[in-house]
Amino acid sequence: MRVVHLSLTNFRNYTRLELDLPEGVVLLLGDNAQGKTNLLEAIRFLSHIHSPRAKTDHELVNWLALQDNLPFARLVAQVQRGDETDQIELSLVQNNSGNHEEDGSGLRKHIRVNGSNKRATDAAGVLSTVLFLPEDINLVSGTPGSRRRYLDDFISQIDPRYGRELQHYNRVLTRRNLLLKSFRGRAADPAQFMFWDQRLIEHGTYLTIRRQTAIVQLNTLAQRIHSLLTEDQEWIRLAYCSNVLDVEPSAAFQMELPTGLPTFEGTMAVQGVAASFAARLREAQEKEFEQGMSTIGPHRDDLRFLANGVDMNTYGSRGQQRTVALSLKLAEVESLSMEKNDKPVLLLDDIMSELDAAHRDCVLQAVDRAQQVIITATDTASFGQEFLAKASLWQVQGGRISRLAL
């Protein structure tokens, strides 16, 4: 898979860009704040239909366009997959109806794939990408919310249904929390929650099983990669922490679930998770009434990383956490390649200077196997002459991109 052509209008510092991208390695060179990361963000935005950096879509629109009466931004990518080419178009336009988007930006997303209007959940994953960032270490050392977002983004690329179930779950969760809050401090009839509990279990069960199957696969791939990165000095295990399943990160095993996409056709896995979810809701009923919020469900999930049995989230050194995060990202590349029978586009944002020689070599092996890799850097010091000879070099300056000769 590769991006053949990228078109940007009023996106970040790009007022207008038309860029043909070649296969292989594309190396974007330039000083800081020139637009290198913005280009990667644009491709990632088209892949996941949300930005990895911005809190609201309003931040993505070029500041000059924001001064217009009808500010807008437009991103278009032509994506080649084998002999087929898809076009993904994403526009951010002023919401004239007065109804704001959920992020409060006052902008609406218009998404089209091959000329047809699409929902975000159906367009996500048409272009598969894996983004490497210097701050990926926060996947290990950061908050549970960041790890849940990582899992949601990863799974949504391979399973459109997952995104829809996640949307349904979040809507039900919001309604249920409002109801709990309204009864806080006074007597509540559990029967009034029966409908919302059933919906929470229905959608939450799918999320729980899908996350578990994804983590099982990532765990298998990450173990092999981490062993290579640490020269067999560390073994790693990814542990799924769910208060629905009540699986502790220190457990010596993980609950086995089907490796394929789960269905709601009465499989043992679905029945078991749903029954466990219902039991935990009953147990937490009094506590939830007191607190006025939902405390059970996949919105409280976490992902823990154990290296030689030690919890890296809490006790890992910065170097260990960086290695674990890199193992996870490289496992994500392999998992997407297996699930979609096509290699994702790799986006590397100035990470080579952050890695030692052994870790750089491991990343470069993944680069060699990809059809297209886009790397940002301030200079070529972290790359050997053999690597540079195979790469396409581009200069990024003030939102403009031009080809360089080595």
Cα 76 from Cα 113, distance rounded (Å): 10
State the pLDDT at residue 268. Answer: 57
State the pLDDT at residue 317. Answer: 94
State the pLDDT at residue 401. Answer: 96
Percent of the chain having pLDDT more than 90? Answer: 72
Cα torsion 215, 220, 224, 225 to 10°: value is -20
Percent of the chain having pLDDT more than 70? Answer: 91
Q: What is the SS3 string spanning the chain? A: CEEEEEEEEEECCEEEEEEECCCEEEEEECCCCCCHHHHHHHHHHHHHCCCCCCCCHHHHECCCHHHCCCCEEEEEEEEEECCEEEEEEEEEEECCCCCCCCCCCCEEEEEEECCEECCHHHHCCCCCEEEECHHHHHHHHCCHHHHHHHHHHHHHHHCHHHHHHHHHHHHHHHHHHHHHHHHCCCCCCHHHHHHHHHHHHHHHHHHHHHHHHHHHHHHHHHHHHHHHHCCCCCCEEEEEECCCCCCCCCCCCCCCCCCCCCCCCCCHHHHHHHHHHHHHHHHCHHHHHHHCCCCCCHHHCEEEEEECCEEHHHHCCHHHHHHHHHHHHHHHHHHHHHHHCCCCEEEEECCHHHCCHHHHHHHHHHHHHCCEEEEEECCCCCCCHHHHHHCEEEEEECCEEEEECC
pLDDT at 191 over 90: no
Can you tell me the mean pLDDT for 23-33?
A: 95
State the pLDDT at residue 189. Answer: 77
Query: Residue 231: which residues within 8 A CB-CB, separation 6 or more?
Result: 358
pLDDT at 380 over 50: yes
Based on the number of CB atoms within 10 Å of its own CB, is 33 exposed (0-12), middle (13-18) or buried (19 or more)?
A: exposed
Q: pLDDT by residue (tens digit) across 83-100?
A: 899 999 999 988 765 444
State the pLDDT at residue 256. Answer: 41
Q: pLDDT by residue (tens digit) across 92-145?
A: 988 765 444 445 467 889 999 999 999 999 999 999 999 999 899 999 999 999
State the pLDDT at residue 176. Answer: 96
pLDDT at 266 over 70: no
Average pLDDT, the chain: 89
Q: Are 35 and 395 in contact (CB under 8 A)?
A: no
State the pLDDT at residue 253. Answer: 37
Cα 203 from Cα 182, distance rounded (Å): 23
Q: pLDDT by residue (tens digit) across 39-75?
A: 999 999 999 999 999 989 989 999 888 777 667 899 9
State the pLDDT at residue 97. Answer: 54
State the pLDDT at residue 257. Answer: 41
State the pLDDT at residue 13. Answer: 95
State the pLDDT at residue 249. Answer: 47
State the pLDDT at residue 99. Answer: 43
Q: pLDDT by residue (tens digit) across 297-329?
A: 999 999 999 999 999 999 999 999 999 999 999
Least Cα distance to 43 among 398, 379, 376, 288 occurs for 376
Query: Residue 285: which residues within 8 A CB-CB, separation 6 or more?
Result: 190
Can you tell me the mean pLDDT for 1-17?
A: 96
State the pairing for strand pair 372-377/345-349: parallel
State the pLDDT at residue 267. Answer: 52
| Structural tokens at position 165 | 């179930």
Cα 245 from Cα 285, distance rounded (Å): 17
Between 23-32, 82-91, 143-152, 245-254, the lowest mean confidence (pLDDT) is in 245-254
Say how many CA atoms lie within 13 Å of 59 toward its Cβ: 13
**Terminal Cα-to-Cα distance of the chain (whole angstroms):** 26
Between 235-244, 258-267, 307-316, the lowest mean confidence (pLDDT) is in 258-267
19: number of Cβ within 10 Å: 16
